[in-house]
Each structure stands twice: as C-alpha cells, then as structure tokens.
C-alpha cells in the first residue's frame, strides 16, 4: 500500500547538491532538507554557502558547505569525501551546477568558452558520479539526478553550446542508468524557462509576454522543479531510471 507521507520522505539519507546556494539548486536543497535529508552543498562563493547552510539548519537539517567549482576535480573529491566523512554517506547526488559564459551564435563561440561549458556542465557531473560511486553508491546504492534543460532536447537561438552540453548530459544520464543498475537509479530533469538569476536574460525583458506564450500562463519557479526533484529521488520513484522529465508549463506543445 502506498503511504504518500512515508514514500516522499528522505529521513536518514544524505544528499550532495551542486550549485545549491541559489535558484533551482537552492530550492532542491530546501525540499530535501524539509523531507528529512542531511545536505552537503558545493558552490563557489563562501558567503552564499554560509547563508545557505544556516538556512538549511534552520529547517532542521544537518548541512555542510564545500567551497569550489563543480568542474574542478579537487573540489569534487573534497565534496564527496566530506559528505561521507561528516554526514555518514552519500545516497543522493544532484548535479545541478551549470555555466554559460557565451551568449550568441554557436559558429562564432570561442574555444575557451566551449571548454568551460563542457567542463562544468558535462565533465563535472561525470566526475561527481564517478566519485560518488566509488565512495558510497557502489556498495550502498543511491540515486543520481542530473539537471539538464529543454535546450538539450531541441535547438534554440543564442545558447547553442549550452544546449549541446545539456544534450550530452541527457545521454550521460541514460548511459549511467544502464551501467549502474540495479543499485543506483539515474534520471534527469529538463526544465524550460525558470525564473532564476541564471536565466534572467531570457525572461526579464518581457516577462508578461513570455509567460503568456506558455499554455499554463507563467514561466516556472525553482519550487516547480524542486517538487519533481524530490519525487525522483524518493521511494515513490523506485522503479524509474534512465528517464528525462520535461517540465515547461506546456510550452513544448505550443
């Protein structure tokens, strides 16, 4: 029998969320903390990490912050090691951190920008997944959730290289789901336009007009994404792996 209150709880589990101090990552970290998980957050800015871990502790969660980039192998190893040593495990990995230092035509993008995008958006999730597997999930099982994008499912103007990285992340999700089963489930979310600072250039110039183009009449919020992110790492989704969930307010149909 399904028990909604129990099946969506994360009591006794430990989650590592990259880019968890703002936007979608912050909303996911808060949702997991509310559901009973302990949290490790990897992000670049110490002051934001301090504020975030204090907020998670106020919810009642054990929380630690690790300073570093999700594309830096040393920071990745440190985050995974501290997660296991200080919080007692690593049951959930959320590869949320992303970057997009280039806005414009893909045919004219600088090679340096391409390398940075792939380092953070693709190589980072792979290295984090490898580290989590070696340190904990190979022996204890777990769940990996990758934050892709609707841009990884179809091309769009101005952010083509970012979209390419997310398309590759979608394929990585399916590959790892195949390789790590049955002990580890791996899924991805592909949000459309969400009201975050990261996507500000896409929604701020005409928020009302952009919202009106969505069948549900608005652009997304970080909490919209966090709700599905909670479901996918919970026991309620225990028979789901290798899937990519699009959430875009119905824009795909329009």
Domain residue extents for the chain: 4-112+123-245
pLDDT at res. 214: 85
The Cα–Cα gap between 176 and 171 comes to 9
Question: Among residues 84, 54, 55, 50, which one has the least CA distance to residue 66?
Answer: 50
- Tokens at 192, concatenated: 């459309």
pLDDT at res. 74: 97
pTM for the predicted model, two decimal places: 0.95
Annotated catalytic residue within 162, 165, 193, 225: 162
Q: Tell me: the pLDDT tens digits for 130-172? A: 999 999 999 999 999 999 999 999 998 889 999 999 999 999 9
What percent of the chain lies above the pLDDT cut of 90?
Answer: 81
**Under CATH, which architecture does the 4-112+123-245 domain have?**
3-Layer(aba) Sandwich (3.40)
The Cα–Cα gap between 26 and 180 comes to 27
Q: Tell me: the pLDDT tens digits for 188-198? A: 999 998 987 77
Annotated active-site residue 162? The verdict is yes
Question: Among residues 195, 202, 180, 192, which one has the least CA distance to residue 147?
Answer: 192
């Amino acid at each position: 029998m399904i028990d909604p209150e129990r099946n969506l709880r994360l009591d006794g589990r430990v989650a590592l969320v990259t880019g968890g101090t703002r936007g979608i990552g912050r909303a996911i970290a808060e949702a997991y903390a509310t559901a009973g998980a302990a949290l490790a957050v990897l992000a670049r800015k110490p002051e934001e990490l301090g504020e975030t871990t204090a907020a998670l502790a106020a919810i009642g969660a054990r929380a630690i912050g690790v300073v570093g980039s999700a594309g830096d192998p040393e920071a990745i190893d440190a985050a995974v090691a501290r997660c296991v040593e200080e919080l007692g495990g690593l049951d959930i990995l959320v590869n949320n951190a992303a970057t997009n230092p280039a806005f414009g035509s893909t045919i004219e993008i600088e090679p340096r920008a391409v390398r940075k995008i792939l380092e953070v958006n693709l190589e980072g999730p792979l290295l984090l997944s490898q580290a989590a597997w070696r340190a904990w999930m190979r022996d204890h099982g777990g769940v990996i959730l990758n934050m892709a994008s609707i841009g990884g499912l179809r091309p769009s103007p101005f952010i083509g290289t970012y979209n390419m990285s997310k398309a590759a992340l979608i394929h990585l999700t399916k590959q790892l789901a195949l390789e790590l089963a049955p002990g580890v489930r791996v899924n991805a979310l592909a949000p459309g336009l969400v009201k975050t600072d990261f996507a500000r250039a896409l929604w701020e110039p005409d928020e009302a007009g952009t919202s009106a183009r969505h069948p549900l009449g608005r652009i997304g919020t970080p909490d919209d994404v966090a709700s599905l992110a909670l479901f996918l790492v919970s026991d309620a989704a225990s028979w789901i792996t290798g899937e990519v969930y699009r959430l875009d307010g119905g824009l795909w149909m329009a």
